[in-house]
Homo-oligomer: A and B are copies of this chain.
């Protein structure tokens, strides 16, 4: 189907841009000599993940057991569930393991580690568990020097649970915007995770995998000595937040929302779109960055950004497109954006915007599109 026949709002994937993003990340990882395990929480779409695996990815990262179940059903077996598991979720993890899924769990505390050990014993299942390391203080994990690290390692190892490795995510990289700061955080992430692995090994606990990553630190890393694999998710699409972090251009962003002009408030300089926050998501990730893109950056159908315009407001099914320049002539909006005109809106955050849609329309270089399903829920 051609772009101008797709009903709006719709989530579009620009396939050439996506393939370029995949090749860029995989090429960088190949150059650094580490494996790459993409985080599929961004897309929840098997068609995208197949392209990542075809380019050289080894295994996937998931943020929910539903993702693990869906991608295992689609043929992916090497899966890291990268959220410290709630003990009540262990029966679902067990079911996946028993079907042959090479599911790796994550913990960052003794309680969950002990629960896995007891559950493994009760059901005679040999789980593999990675320990989450906190290298930037932004969320969960155990800092490399904490006693808890060895305590968790021992609870697992001494109870026959395989310690598969350590993993960390320097998510605070989203708050940076210079190559120097990103490179420094990438090194901090690497060094902290390698140090945690070394402490476990020194204590007699095997720790084969050392897994790090976020899109900005993965792209900024200059050397990854001691690291075995990198994880990243949003790089496959990029978005306006990543543009502001400085790791992509507007022309790299592969996800956009197709929208139609449905009205005007000429005296206010507004064109009304049929893409509101339900389509764009409520994510306003650029609001705290140097360039606030509102609810998104409007582009022509061919992908050319319309500088000087922004989606400045949103209701559930109404977006407000307006000039971002005070000098603009209000009357211009009506002529420049007539009713029925279709636009592509680049989103703040691809993970959040994609999640608003049950399917993507994946657009080839010649303008033809095919539907790629994505799933929702837990």
Specify which of B115, B274, B358, B377 is in contact with A359 (CB 8 Å cutoff): B377
Q: Give the 6 A-B residue pairs with the shortest CB-CB distance, closest first.
A: A282-B282, A111-B339, A358-B377, A282-B283, A86-B260, A63-B317
CA–CA, A83 and B63, complex, Å: 36
Specify which of B9, B87, B265, B315 is in contact with A171 (CB 8 Å cutoff): B315
CA–CA, A139 and B8, complex, Å: 19
Shortest beta-carbon distance from A111 to chain B in Å: 4
Judged by a CB distance under 8 angstroms, whether A336 is at the interface is no
**Beta-carbon contacts of A311-322 to B below 8 Å, as 1s and 0s?**
000011110100
Closest to A107 in B: B263
Judged by a CB distance under 8 angstroms, whether A162 is at the interface is no
Judged by a CB distance under 8 angstroms, whether A193 is at the interface is no
Judged by a CB distance under 8 angstroms, whether A10 is at the interface is yes
Shortest beta-carbon distance from A113 to chain B in Å: 10
Judged by a CB distance under 8 angstroms, whether A89 is at the interface is yes
Shortest beta-carbon distance from A135 to chain B in Å: 13
Specify which of B140, B284, B352 is in contact with A272 (CB 8 Å cutoff): B140
Tally of this chain's copies = 2
What are 19 of the A-B contact pairs (CB < 8 Å)? A7-B88, A8-B378, A10-B378, A83-B262, A83-B274, A84-B263, A85-B262, A86-B261, A86-B339, A109-B339, A111-B338, A140-B272, A277-B352, A278-B352, A278-B355, A282-B282, A282-B284, A284-B284, A316-B351
What B residues does A89 contact at CB under 8 A?
7
Which residues of A come within 8 Å of B, CB atoms? 7-10, 41, 63-64, 83-89, 92, 108-109, 111-112, 115, 134, 139-140, 171, 260-265, 272, 274, 277-279, 281-284, 315-318, 320, 338-340, 349, 351-352, 355-359, 376-378
What B residues does A359 contact at CB under 8 A?
377
* Contact in complex: A41, B316 (CB < 8 Å): yes
What B residues does A88 contact at CB under 8 A?
7-8, 260, 340
Shortest beta-carbon distance from A372 to chain B in Å: 14
CA–CA, A86 and B316, complex, Å: 16
**Given the known A-B contacts A140-B263, A262-B112, A352-B277, are A357 and B339 also in contact in the complex, defined by CB atoms under 8 Å?**
no
Shortest beta-carbon distance from A326 to chain B in Å: 19
What B residues does A109 contact at CB under 8 A?
263-264, 339
Closest to A260 in B: B86
Specify which of B92, B263, B317, B376 is in contact with A41 (CB 8 Å cutoff): B317
Specify which of B134, B265, B282 is in contact with A281 (CB 8 Å cutoff): B282
Shortest beta-carbon distance from A293 to chain B in Å: 15
Shortest beta-carbon distance from A183 to chain B in Å: 23
CA–CA, A92 and B112, complex, Å: 51
What B residues does A284 contact at CB under 8 A?
282, 284
CA–CA, A139 and B377, complex, Å: 31
Shortest beta-carbon distance from A289 to chain B in Å: 15
CA–CA, A61 and B108, complex, Å: 47
Closest to A85 in B: B262
CA–CA, A169 and B257, complex, Å: 26
Shortest beta-carbon distance from A173 to chain B in Å: 13
Closest to A349 in B: B282
* Contact in complex: A86, B351 (CB < 8 Å): no
Shortest beta-carbon distance from A69 to chain B in Å: 12
CA–CA, A230 and B112, complex, Å: 51
Closest to A282 in B: B282
* Contact in complex: B352, A263 (CB < 8 Å): no
Closest to A342 in B: B88
Closest to A313 in B: B139
